[in-house]
Amino acid sequence: MREAQELHKPTEEYFAQPLEDNLFEWHFTLRGPVNTEFEEGIYHGRIILPSEYPMKPPDIIFITQNGRFETNKKICLSISGYHPESWRPSWSIRTALLAIIGYMPSSGLGTIAGLQYSPAERRILAKKSVKLFNT
């Protein structure tokens, strides 16, 4: 899969790779966006690709608590499986990861699996997220 080769090396913002035995399930880590309450965090999640990918969008699930998206639930974004009408086949996992980073500081009100924690609570979760990766 071409995307696995493109994403083989981590960047400062994210890292993603498929499971060895399932190219339709990817795991990612991303750093919280700079100059936000997420900045000090490292967040882990899953991307589930449909068999029709890239013609249909992936489902995105956060595993790490972050105060913006519920954990272990498919999140609702224009680049996720909740909005196939918005998806473009030219988009990629990289595009989705960059979009997630961009959406993190936005309001979670009224979205499926969206949360609206205070900035202080999100900072606490960001610091806790780093401890999870360093234990």
Give me the catalytic one of 48, 76, 99, 112. 76
Do 61 and 46 form a contact (C-beta atoms < 8 A)? yes
Beta bridge partners of 42: 31
Show the beta-strand stretches assigned E in 32-125. 42-48, 59-62
Q: Is 95 a catalytic residue?
A: no
Token representation of residue 20: 């060895």
Q: How many CB atoms lie within 10 A of CB 57?
A: 25
Do 99 and 105 form a contact (C-beta atoms < 8 A)? no
> Active-site positions?
76
